[in-house]
Amino acid sequence: MNMTDTKSIRDRVMKALDKVRPYLQSDGGDIDLIDVSEDMTVKVKLTGACHGCPYSMQTLKAGVEQAIMKEVPEIKRVISA
C-alpha cells in the first residue's frame, strides 16, 4: 500500500471516529486513533470515562468498529491499544 492510500484510509477512519466521538464525549469519554496497520487493523485508545469502563469493549465492538467498517470497508478489525 502506498503512502497516498494509507493517508486516505487514515483520513476516512478519522472521519468515522468524528461521527462517534460526540456519543463518547457525552459520557465523559473520547477516543484517539493510534495506528492503521498494513493488515487493515485499526488501533484506538479509549480515554476519559471510557478508559476502564466495564462497557468499553462493547462500545469498541458494537459502536466504534461498526462505524469505522461502515465508512471504511477495507478495515478488517478494530482493537484497543
Q: What digits encode the pLDDT tens for the residues 17-64?
A: 999 999 999 999 999 999 999 999 999 999 999 988 899 999 999 999
| Per-residue exposure over 13-48, b if at least 16 CB sit within 10 Å of its own CB, e if not | beebbeebbeebeeeebbbebeebeeeeebebebee
Domain limits at 38? 3-80
pLDDT score at 14 = 97
| CA 33 – CA 45 distance, rounded (Å) | 7
Q: Tell the residue number behind the cell numbers 493510534, with chain if given.
A: 34
The three-state secondary structure class of 35 is strand
CATH number where 67 lies: 3.30.300.130
Q: How many domains does the chain have?
A: 1
pLDDT at 4: 61
